[in-house]
C-alpha cells in the first residue's frame, strides 16, 4: 500500500506518520483537526477494500471495540469512508504511545513472577469485560497487547472478534488464516469455532511465553505448530523454569488444556484465580481491580421520528400530487359539464384503467431492465469470490465451477503471506468479470531471504565478488589478529555463514592480520619470578628449567630461549633456565648442637644426614661430624654426625 502520510482523511484527520503496517491495514499517527488531539487512524489496504468480507471484518473491529468501555481496551472513536482524495476505509482509535508486549518480551526475555502477574491481570480484566458482553476477541497474543508510556496495559485489534453485538462472523478457514497460529486454541484449528474459553487458551499461551521466555511449541511451518496445538499437551511451565510457584504453574496448565471444558470458563474466572494467587504470594500488596461493576440503567429506545431528509421527500411528493390534481381539474373544466351519473361512471372507470395501465407499464419496464441486465448489462458478468490467502489449487476449486480461469500473473516476495498463498487478485473478491473470463492472481514466494555464503579463507576481493551475487550490501572490512588464518585472508562475516538475511542487509567482513607479535625483552640475570609474570601477562607460554650455577645467584635467569631483542608471535613458547645457586657447599660447624638443630642446618644446605648415637645421656649433642668442618662437598652429599 502506498504511504498516505500528509493526507487529510474525511476532511478531519491529518495523517502525520506511519506507525505500523500489517497484511490488512496500515496504522498512522494523526491529528484530529476538529478537536486538536492526536489519534491513531487505521486505514485498510485498497485492494482489500474491494472484498466485502474484509470490509465487514474491519467494521466489526470498530463495533467490537466501541461496544466495550474499559480502561484496558483501546477505545474506538470513529469509523468511515474517505470520500475526498485517496479512497479509504478507516477507523479512528485512541493513540497509545509506547510499545507492544511482543517488543517488551523481545527486549526483556522472561518476566519475573511478580512482573508477569502485573502484566497479565489487566489483560484478563479486559477479557472479562468483553466476555460479559458476549464478545470473544479470538486473537489474543503479545502483538495485540499494548503498554503505554505511563504503564497502562491495553488490548487492541478486535478485528477477529465475534458476538451477539457484532452480527455474523467470518468462516472457520479465514479465521485460521488471519489468526496467529502460535496462540490458536485446538478448537479454532480443528472446527473454526471460538468462545470465551478460546480466549482463555490464547491468554494462557501468552502467559506461558511471558513467564518462560519461549512459546510452548515451535516449528518450521505454521501447519506444524497448529498440529502440535491439536495433538500435544502444553507442558508445565516448571519444566522450563524452576522458580514457578506451584499454584501459578497449575493455573496456566489448566488454562492451556486441550479440552475447553477443563479450562476456566471465561476471562472473569481466570482473572479471579490469578488474583487469588497474587494475593497469596504477597498478602501485603494492595490489589486494584479495573473491572467496572456499576450497574447501568438500560437506555430508552430512540424515537422513530422521520429524519429531515425523509420529511423533505414527503413534502416533495405532496407537491407533485397537488399539481397533478390541479391539472386534472383544468382538463375537466375544458370538457364541459357532465351529469352526476356520468361523472361517477367516468371516475370509477378511469381509476381502474389507470391502475391497470400503471401495472402493465411497470411490468414492461421491469422486464426490459431485467432483460438488459441479464443479457448485455452488469448481470451478464460473474461475481469473483475472494481467493486471497488460498493456495493455487484452492483458488482453482473456487473459480472452476463459475467457469472462470485462474492466471498467475506474478510471484512476489511477501513478509506476511506464506509461500504459495495468494496475495491479491484482479478483479478482487466481490468484483465482476465476463463469463468464462480470467482472474489474475499474485502468489507469495514467502519472505525474501538470502543465505550468506562461505567466504572464510578467501581474499577480501573474492569475498566481495561472491557477496555481490546476492542482493546484500558489504559493510566494514575490519582487520584483526588471528592465529589460524594467514594474513590477508578472510576470517568470517557478520552475519555469519549460513544465516538467512533480508535484501540489502549489511554484511561486515573480518580479514586476518596474521599472528600478533610482541617485542621480546631479555631477562638474563633478572628474577625468574619477574620474568615469568611479565611474559605470561604478555600472552607467551613460559616453561622453566632449574640448573646449578657457580656464577648466577639462586632464583635468577641463567638463559632464555628464544633470546630477547626480536619480535615474537603472541602465544609462542619461551623456556627460561633458572639458577639453583652453587652446586657445592662447605660443611658447617654443628658441634655441641642438639641432634634436631644439627640436622636442620645440614638439610638447609641440601645435605643428606646420617646420625650415630652413643652414650646414655638424655639430651644428646653433636660430638663428631664427617666429613670434617670446612670441607667442600656437592649438594646432596652424605654427612654423618655422632651424638652422645
Report DSSP letters for 207-252, one per residue.
HHHHHHSS-S---SSHHHHHHHHHHSPPPPGGGT-TT--HHHHHHH
- The answer for residues whose C-beta is within 8 angstroms of residue 335's C-beta and 6 or more apart is none
**Residue pair 291/267 in contact by the 8 Å Cβ criterion:** no
Active-site residue, 157 included: no
Characterize the bridge pairing of strands 517-519 and 567-569. Answer: antiparallel
Compute how many other C-beta atoms are within 10 angstroms of the C-beta atom of residue 380: 13
Cell for 553? 645467584
CA–CA separation, 535 and 555 (whole Å): 16
**Residue pair 226/217 in contact by the 8 Å Cβ criterion:** no
Helix (H, G, I), strand (E, B) or coil at 109: coil
Compute how many other C-beta atoms are within 10 angstroms of the C-beta atom of residue 281: 14
The DSSP H or E segment spanning 132 is helix 113-132
How distant is the alpha carbon of residue 66 from its chain centre? Answer: 27
Instruction: From 119, 87, 93, 108, select the one nearest 19 (Cα to Cα).
Output: 93
CA–CA separation, 183 and 198 (whole Å): 10
CA–CA separation, 433 and 440 (whole Å): 11
Assign residue 462 a region: left if phi > 0, alpha if psi is -120 to 50, beta otherwise? alpha
Compute how many other C-beta atoms are within 10 angstroms of the C-beta atom of residue 499: 14
CA–CA separation, 397 and 420 (whole Å): 15
Instruction: From 1, 194, 25, 20, select the one nearest 98 (Cα to Cα).
Output: 20
CA–CA separation, 479 and 3 (whole Å): 42
51, 139, 195, 414: the catalytic one is: 139
**Residue pair 491/514 in contact by the 8 Å Cβ criterion:** no
Map 566-631 to HEC letters.
CEEECCCEEEEEEECCCCEEECCCCCCCEHHHHHHHHHHCCCEEEEEECCCCCCCEEEEEECCCCC
Q: What is the dihedral of CA 414, 419, 421, 422, to 10 degrees?
A: 40
- End-to-end, the C-alpha distance of the chain in Å comes to 112
Instruction: From 644, 57, 53, select the one nearest 386 (Cα to Cα).
Output: 53
**Residue pair 420/444 in contact by the 8 Å Cβ criterion:** yes
CA–CA separation, 172 and 567 (whole Å): 74
Query: φ, ψ for residue 355 (rounded to 5)?
Result: -65, -45
Instruction: From 511, 508, 509, select the one nearest 487 (Cα to Cα).
Output: 511
Cell for 176? 485460521
Cell for 258? 486441550
- Catalytic center residues: 139
Amino acid at each position: 500500500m502506498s504511504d498516505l502520510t500528509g493526507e487529510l482523511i474525511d476532511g478531519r484527520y491529518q495523517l502525520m506518520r506511519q506507525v505500523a503496517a500489517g497484511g490488512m491495514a496500515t496504522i498512522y499517527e494523526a491529528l484530529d483537526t476538529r478537536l486538536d488531539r492526536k489519534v491513531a487512524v487505521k486505514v485498510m489496504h485498497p485492494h482489500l477494500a474491494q472484498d466485502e468480507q474484509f470490509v465487514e471484518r474491519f467494521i466489526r473491529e470498530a463495533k467490537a471495540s466501541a461496544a466495550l468501555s474499559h480502561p484496558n481496551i483501546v477505545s474506538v472513536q470513529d469509523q468511515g469512508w474517505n470520500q475526498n482524495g485517496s479512497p479509504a476505509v478507516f477507523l479512528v482509535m485512541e493513540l497509545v504511545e509506547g510499545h507492544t508486549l511482543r517488543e517488551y518480551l523481545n527486549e526483556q526475555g522472561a518476566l519475573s513472577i511478580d512482573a508477569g502477574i502485573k502484566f497479565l491481570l489487566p489483560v484478563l480484566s479486559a477479557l472479562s469485560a468483553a466476555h460479559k458482553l458476549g464478545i470473544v476477541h479470538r486473537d489474543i497474543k503479545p502483538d495485540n497487547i499494548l503498554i503505554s508510556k505511563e504503564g497502562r496495559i491495553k488490548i487492541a485489534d478486535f478485528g477477529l472478534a465475534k458476538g451477539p453485538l457484532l452480527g455474523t462472523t467470518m468462516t472457520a478457514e479465514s479465521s485460521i488464516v488471519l489468526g496467529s497460529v502460535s496462540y490458536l486454541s485446538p478448537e479454532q484449528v480443528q472446527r473454526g469455532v471460538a468462545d470465551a474459553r478460546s480466549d482463555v487458551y490464547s491468554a494462557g499461551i501468552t502467559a506461558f511465553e511471558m513467564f518462560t521466555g519461549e512459546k510452548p511449541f515451535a516449528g518450521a511451518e505454521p501447519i506444524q505448530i497448529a498440529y502440535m496445538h491439536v495433538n500435544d499437551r502444553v507442558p508445565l511451565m516448571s519444566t522450563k523454569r524452576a522458580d514457578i510457584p506451584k499454584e501459578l504453574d497449575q493455573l496456566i496448565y489448566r488454562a492451556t488444556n486441550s479440552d475447553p471444558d477443563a479450562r476456566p470458563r471465561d476471562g472473569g474466572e481466570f482473572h479471579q484465580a490469578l488474583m487469588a494467587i497474587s494475593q497469596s504470594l504477597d498478602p501485603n500488596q494492595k490489589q486494584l481491580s479495573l473491572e467496572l461493576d456499576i450497574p447501568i440503567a438500560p437506555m430508552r429506545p430512540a424515537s422513530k421520528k422521520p429524519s429531515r431528509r425523509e420529511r423533505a421527500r414527503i413534502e416533495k411528493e405532496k407537491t407533485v400530487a397537488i399539481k397533478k390534481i390541479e391539472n386534472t381539474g383544468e382538463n375537466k373544466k375544458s370538457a364541459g359539464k357532465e351529469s352526476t351519473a356520468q361523472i361517477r361512471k367516468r371516475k370509477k372507470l378511469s381509476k381502474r384503467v389507470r391502475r391497470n395501465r400503471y401495472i402493465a407499464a411497470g411490468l414492461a419496464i421491469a422486464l426490459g431492465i431485467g432483460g438488459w441486465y441479464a443479457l448485455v448489462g452488469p448481470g451478464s458478468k460473474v461475481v469473483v469470490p475472494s481467493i486471497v490467502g488460498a493456495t493455487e489449487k484452492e483458488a482453482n476449486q473456487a473459480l472452476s465451477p463459475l467457469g472462470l480461469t485462474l492466471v498467475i500473473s506474478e510471484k512476489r516476495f511477501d513478509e506476511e503471506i506464506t509461500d504459495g498463498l495468494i496475495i491479491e487478485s484482479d478483479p478482487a473478491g466481490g468484483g465482476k468479470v465476463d463469463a468464462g473470463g480470467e482472474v489474475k492472481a499474485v502468489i507469495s514466494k514467502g519472505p525474501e531471504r538470502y543465505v550468506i555464503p562461505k567466504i572464510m579463507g578467501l581474499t577480501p576481493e573474492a569475498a566481495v565478488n561472491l557477496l555481490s551475487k546476492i542482493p546484500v550490501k558489504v559493510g566494514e572490512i575490519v582487520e584483526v589478529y588471528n592465529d589460524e588464518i594467514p594474513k590477508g585472508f578472510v576470517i568470517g562475516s557478520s552475519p555469519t555463514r549460513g544465516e538467512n538475511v533480508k535484501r540489502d542487509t549489511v554484511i561486515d567482513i573480518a580479514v586476518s592480520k596474521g599472528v600478533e607479535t610482541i617485542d621480546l625483552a631479555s631477562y638474563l640475570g633478572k628474577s625468574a619470578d619477574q620474568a615469568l609474570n611479565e611474559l605470561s601477562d604478555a600472552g607467551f607460554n613460559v616453561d622453566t628449567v632449574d640448573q646449578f650455577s657457580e656464577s648466577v645467584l639462586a632464583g635468577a635467569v641463567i638463559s632464555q630461549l628464544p633470546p630477547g631483542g626480536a619480535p615474537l608471535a603472541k602465544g609462542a613458547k619461551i623456556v627460561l633456565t633458572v639458577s639453583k645457586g652453587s652446586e657445592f657447599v662447605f660443611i658447617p660447624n654443628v658441634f655441641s648442637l642438639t641432634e634436631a638443630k644439627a640436622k636442620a642446618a645440614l638439610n638447609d644446605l641440601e645435605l643428606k644426614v646420617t646420625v650415630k648415637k652413643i652414650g646414655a645421656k638424655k639430651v644428646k649433642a653433636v660430638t663428631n661430624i664427617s666429613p670434617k668442618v670446612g670441607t667442600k662437598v656437592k649438594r646432596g652429599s652424605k654427612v654423618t654426625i655422632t651424638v652422645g
